[in-house]
Amino acid sequence: MRPDLEREYVEYVTARLPRLHRTAYLLCADAFQADDIVQATLTALYLNWSRAVGADNLDGYVHRILVRRYLDERRRRWSRVLLGDRVPELTAAPDDDVEARDELVTALRALPKGQRAVVVLRYFGDLSVEATAAALGCSTGNVKSQCARGLAALREALGPRHPVGAANTTKGR
Amino acid sequence: MDEEDQLRDRLAAVDVPPSRIEVAALLGAGRRAAFRRRSLRASGGVALATAALLAVPPVLTGGTGRPADRSALGPTATTPAATTPARATPPATPATKAGPTAGCRPAELPVPPGTRNVEPAAVDPTGRYVVGNGTVGQDFRPVLWTDGKPRALPVPGTSVQATAVNAGGVVVGLVQNGRQEYVARYADGVWTRLRTPPGKWHPYPTPKINRAGDVVINVEPSGNSGGEGSIALLWKAGSTTAVRLPLPAGANVHAITDDGTLVGGTYVDGVGTAAYAWNQRGVGRKLPVPAGQTGLAYAARGDWVTGGAWPSESVARWNLRTGQVIVGPRWTHGTGSQPYGPGTAVNASGWVVALGTVLRAGKPVELTLPDGRTGRASDVSDDGLVVGSAFSDPGSRHLGPRVWRC
């Protein structure tokens, strides 16, 4: 890549990395997998940077890759083995403690994968209904209905009767 | 505050564990990927490759100050390589039918009407049967090709994923139905659930089957991840009752050969520590890799086992009969070189599929496609039939299933 293009890439990635990582974590609720998804996404972005940087909606484009990667990771269970093995120097982090702190993450995990992606992209990624539909490859009507269902399912976790952390016992650990 | 805003606030406030990704490392990964792509193009799909044929007798590994290796090799280790000095030329492997630069002839695999995004997963050793999966939303829909003719298999669940097929056309896969997740065998037109021991188990990564019809997989207690508390299971041909394999704690099985040899690795806290081959009594031999590396085995066929070595991310091949160990090759281009990544499939001649690339005699074979398309392999049969998919390049858009006759 040309040095000036590469600099633009570094600037973009530096600015977006924390948010992309958070998005990936909300999708998969696993710290390692989130890193893998983000790395795969941004490597793919590097390869197509010269074209991608000219896109009308670069963030939308990146989210689209991110969601695809997330869905791919979920599909290919063996990837967990492969990806885990790639970093033998890292020991597994005690993710469970982190997850247990937030009832919302637990509730998100219980959503169907597509619904979860819709909720995360709409309400964390701040993507429009249209951009969410484009990222997920579905209709805007589908996004709206999934949003409504997702919100309904999360209502309990959001409700005032269930403050953060109060539902840890439901995890059965 | 309305519900939507409340959700926005809460999502932004979730306590997310720290990322280990650094921009510098990302840049490195991007450059490597770009380099590898350039290498592929510059060489017309056949890159220059070098392989290190490693001699790994106990005398050598013992000499590196890793006595653990020596004891693990023990009396079951094969030693013919002891007299073979390390050399830096590609090793010869049998059954190279065509020259190293000959491309493989592609053909489209037809898909059943109404199926989408169908990707082949595996081919049986004879090349007659191929299994793959289409998708509907997040769910799999299994497909079986017999002599190139596709058939959509029944879907007794929300998602059914075909993962392997043997020379008798018996398919194994994973069925998900609501919260249930189990291994199933497809034969004579029906899927049969293969039962696990009492308790709730999560099977992973995917079941494998040998010629006789023996099926292996690992299961961990539902709710665990990373293999915590896992056990390895075997269903003998035709049986639906699992036998727990007497492997060491933390061992995972990833393949079973026709003579019943189990191939896989040992894991500690979800991290791989060594590649192993075991007999069904659980007597194992460590499959060695060079000092400083960690090996893991993912696939086996005949005498050959493939997998990877870390941290070099190299493809690894072991010959169970001769004891030969080959780590590499790497892409070389100019003054640099890059690893292919771990091997995930192997045939009886030792051809390996490493993250979509087929390596024959240590050299990548060209999966011929028209310009603007690139082929990625999933599996290869003993007679050189490669199954995989075509992707747009650039863009990596899936263009459909393909086979290549090599």
| Cβ separation B29–A39 shorter than 8 A | yes
Closest partner residue to B296 among A35, A85, A92, by Cβ? A85
Helix (H, G, I), strand (E, B) or coil at A132: helix
| Cβ separation B11–A124 shorter than 8 A | yes
Helix (H, G, I), strand (E, B) or coil at B345: strand
Closest partner residue to A89 among B27, B225, B311, by Cβ? B311
Average pLDDT, chain A: 71
Cis peptide before A163 (omega within 30 of 0): no
Q: How far is A30 from B141, CA to CA, in rounded Å?
A: 26
Indicate which of A81, A83, A127 best probes the interface with B, i.e. most B CBs within 10 Å of its own CB. A81
B268 in contact with A, Cβ within 8 Å: no
Q: Give yes or no: residues A83 and A98 share one domain.
A: no
Q: For position A170, what pLDDT does the model report?
A: 35
Nearest chain B Cα distance for residue A98, angstroms: 7
Low-confidence ranges of chain B (pLDDT < 70): 1, 35-102, 137-138, 223-227, 269-271, 333-336, 394-396
| Cβ separation B4–A105 shorter than 8 A | no
Q: Give yes or no: residues A72 and A107 share one domain.
A: no
A21: domain CATH number?
1.10.1740
Q: Give yes or no: residues A13 and A75 share one domain.
A: yes
- Tokens 């990544």 sit at which residue? B341
In a domain, residue B7? The reply is no
- Chain B residues with CB-CB distance to A105 below 8 A: 14
Parallel/antiparallel/unpaired status of strands B201-209 and B190-194: unpaired
Q: Which residue pairs, CB below 8 angstroms and at least 24 apart, start in B176-180?
A: B176/B139
The answer to whether the CB of A73 falls within 8 A of the CB of A79 is yes
| Cβ separation A10–B23 shorter than 8 A | yes
Q: Give yes or no: residues A136 and A172 share one domain.
A: yes
Among residues A37, A63, A93, which one ends one of the domains? Answer: A93
Residue of B nearest to A77 (CA): B205
Among residues A64, A93, A122, which one ends one of the domains? Answer: A93
Tokens of B121: 């997963």
Domain of residue B240: give its range: 45-405
- Chain A residues with CB-CB distance to B140 below 8 A: 75
Helix (H, G, I), strand (E, B) or coil at B299: strand
Q: For position A70, what pLDDT does the model report?
A: 79
| Cβ separation A77–B206 shorter than 8 A | yes
Q: How far is A81 from A36, CA to CA, in rounded Å?
A: 12
| Cβ separation A74–B20 shorter than 8 A | no
Residue of A nearest to B227 (CA): A81
Residue A79: pLDDT over 80: no
Residue of A nearest to B37 (CA): A47
- CA distances A46 to B29, B38, B283, B372, Å, are 9, 14, 47, 19
Q: Give yes or no: residues A84 and A101 share one domain.
A: no
CA-wise closest residue to A142 among B169, B48, A134: A134
Q: For position B82, what pLDDT does the model report?
A: 28
Q: For position A165, what pLDDT does the model report?
A: 34
How many structural domains comprise chain B? 1
Q: Give yes or no: residues A40 and A121 share one domain.
A: no
The one-letter amino acid code at B163 reads: T
| Cβ separation B271–A18 shorter than 8 A | no
In a domain, residue B16? The reply is no
Q: For position B269, what pLDDT does the model report?
A: 66
Indicate which of A39, A46, A76, A85 best probes the interface with B, i.e. most B CBs within 10 Å of its own CB. A85
**Average confidence (pLDDT) over A101-127:** 82
**What is the dihedral angle through the alpha carbons of B400, B161, B351, B124, rounded to the nearest 10 degrees?**
-100
Nearest chain A Cα distance for residue B270, angstroms: 7
Closest partner residue to A46 among B21, B34, B310, by Cβ? B34
The answer to whether the CB of B184 falls within 8 A of the CB of B203 is no
Q: Give yes or no: residues A12 and A88 share one domain.
A: yes
Q: Give yes or no: residues A75 and A121 share one domain.
A: no
Residue A169: pLDDT over 70: no
Q: Give yes or no: residues A84 and A105 share one domain.
A: no
Helix (H, G, I), strand (E, B) or coil at B66: coil
The answer to whether the CB of A69 falls within 8 A of the CB of A37 is yes
Ramachandran angles phi, psi of B77, nearest 5°: -70, 140
The one-letter amino acid code at B395 reads: G
| Cβ separation A92–B23 shorter than 8 A | no
Q: Give yes or no: residues A65 and A106 share one domain.
A: no
How many structural domains comprise chain A? 2
Domain of residue A107: give its range: 94-173
- Chain A residues with CB-CB distance to B20 below 8 A: 35, 90
In a domain, residue B170? The reply is yes
Angular region, B362: left φ>0, alpha ψ -120 to 50, beta rest = left
In a domain, residue B18? The reply is no
B332: domain CATH number?
2.120.10.30
Among residues A93, A119, A140, which one ends one of the domains? Answer: A93
- Chain A residues with CB-CB distance to B23 below 8 A: 10, 13-14, 17
Q: Give yes or no: residues A110 and A45 share one domain.
A: no
pLDDT band at A34 (very low <50, low <70, confident <90, very high): confident
Tokens of B305: 């086992």
- Chain B residues with CB-CB distance to A155 below 8 A: 3
- Who has greater pLDDT, B354 or A109? B354
A127: domain CATH number?
1.10.10.10
- Chain B residues with CB-CB distance to A139 below 8 A: none
| Cβ separation A51–B29 shorter than 8 A | no
Nearest chain B Cα distance for residue A131, angstroms: 17
Average pLDDT, chain B: 80
Residue A77: pLDDT over 70: no
Nearest chain B Cα distance for residue A166, angstroms: 15
CA-wise closest residue to B305 among B280, B278, B283: B278
Q: Give yes or no: residues A78 and A126 share one domain.
A: no
Q: For position B108, what pLDDT does the model report?
A: 95
